[in-house]
Amino acid sequence: MKRRDFLLASGSVLPALAITRAMAESGHVHHNQGEPSASVRDPQGYRPVHTPNGWTLPHRLVDGVKEFHLVAEEIEHEFAPGSRAKCWGYNGTSPGPTLEAVEGDRVRIYVSNRLPEHTSIHWHGLILPSGMDGVSGLTQPAIQPGETFVYEFTLQQHGTHMYHPHADEMVQLAMGMMGLFIIHPKDGEPEPIARDYAILLHNWAMHPGTSRPDPAVMVEFDLWTMNSKVFPAIDTLVAASGERVRIRLGNLSMWNHPIHLHGVQFQVTGSDGGRWPREQWRSEVTEIIGVGQMRDIEFVGVPGDWAFHCHMSHHTMNPMGHDLPNTLGVNQDGVEEKIRTLLPGYMAMGKHGMGEHQDHTDSGHMTGPPNTLPMMMGKGPFGNIEMGGMFTVVKVRDGLAAGDFRDPGWYRHPEGEVARRVSADPDYGQPARRGKLAGPKSETLPVPKRQGHQH
């Protein structure tokens, strides 16, 4: 039996009751407290970036040079309540702290290595001297365990950038080593930004029942994250009605991500190359963020709770089985009793879709392996949201104070503005229809054999 076939049989694609309880006991599914100081402009004139679930690294000014200190080290990271892992990051977190500076600044960045192996840091997309580019073996010696190196250069551009290792990259990126480097324009913004968010997209191979990411996986990932969190542990993005909001997105995963925002047509306004000239802006509702790319999107807040997510449907799910037999429409009467003689606790599922998984687990019918997140999580004001992974909510409210990043709770829809039931009769109305409906004779249609599941 394949590993992922066993996952279905053991019920590990289902959420564990303990995880459900942990989320319920935490109160509202989104509990970000925000950073009140984020509304205060820096003395250099820019509005600081807000990194959901993250933080900004303080610096000190030494003889006109901004000094930062990064520490590469093993950390204990929580993807969401119920799943913790030993990962690698910077200064205690994954992603590492966001670095912020201004075009024209001279920066000095110390990097201490507390990992069990050598490392380096590449400043992704930055224009700088070759010897500061951070490619181990090519532009510098590797930073050995216990050593501290220093990088120093003048920022020649503005825009949304990243930092990550260029040493044993497959392992170190897979383990969570990454961070954001935001460089603000020295001449200010042509259109002022009221709220400026920054998010790194990533993927993790956290196999069910394990506690370390698997760096050897190249395709079948288990967790898809925004700033190393999965829904519903990802902070909500908050704004006041009418505020201009920017979301900076960087992709250090191994897949491209079509990021979709409900409720508005946003403008794509920038990238690693900085904020584009106005004539290059374009209106979209979904923007593909390619591997290694950065994109800035901007919009004016409209009241409501708006989903914000990757549009690859399996990227908005948590650990789930791959290469499993398709059980849609399969008569599973009596299957549970027979299989339970071999696998106690087995539950046959999937005849009518996956939506029943969260209901079954919330009721305590099944548990999954320890330290494994549910496939579907999160409850909203109208029931299960049935999401995970790269999904969060943009919450826009009238009268929200500048710099208030606290979660305002669920949106109260004006009367008459919520979709409602008008009938429980499946034969309601006289809708126009074409084609042939499935019926008893449809069971005689040929069923193609899938490789690996032929009998």
Sequential pLDDT tens for the chain (455 residues): 333 333 333 343 333 334 333 433 333 344 465 555 556 788 888 899 999 999 999 999 999 999 999 999 999 999 999 899 999 999 999 999 999 999 999 999 999 999 999 999 999 999 999 999 999 999 999 999 999 999 999 999 999 999 999 999 999 999 999 999 999 999 988 889 999 999 999 999 988 888 999 999 888 888 999 999 999 999 999 999 999 999 999 999 999 999 999 999 999 999 988 889 999 999 999 999 999 999 999 999 999 999 999 999 988 888 765 555 556 556 677 777 777 777 666 666 655 555 565 565 665 556 667 887 777 788 899 998 888 999 999 999 999 998 899 999 999 999 999 999 999 999 999 999 898 888 877 766 676 665 655 44
DSSP 90-117: ETTBSSPPBEEEETT-EEEEEEEE-SSS
Query: Which uninterrupted H or E stretch holds 4?
Result: helix 3-10
Whether the Cβ atoms of residue 39 and residue 403 lie closer than 8 Å to each other: yes
3-state DSSP: the chain helix, strand, coil percent, rounded to 5? 10, 30, 55
What pLDDT is stored for residue 12 in this prediction?
36
SS3 of residue 66 by DSSP:
strand
Whether the Cβ atoms of residue 374 and residue 361 lie closer than 8 Å to each other: yes
Beta carbons within 8 Å of 62's beta carbon, 6+ residues apart: 108
Name the pTM for this structure: 0.85
User: What are the C-alpha distances in Å from 86 to residues 78, 219, 270?
Assistant: 9, 21, 34
The structure tokens listed for 337 are: 């009793």
The structure tokens listed for 254 are: 């191994």
Query: Which uninterrupted H or E stretch holds 329?
Result: none
Q: Which segments within 27-158 are labelled E, that is strand?
A: 60-62, 65-80, 83-90, 99-102, 106-113, 122-124, 148-154
What pLDDT is stored for residue 337 in this prediction?
76
Which DSSP state fits 37?
Answer: G
Tokens 């046959």, located at residue: 348
Structure confidence by residue, pLDDT tens digits, 252-277: 999 999 999 999 999 999 998 888 99
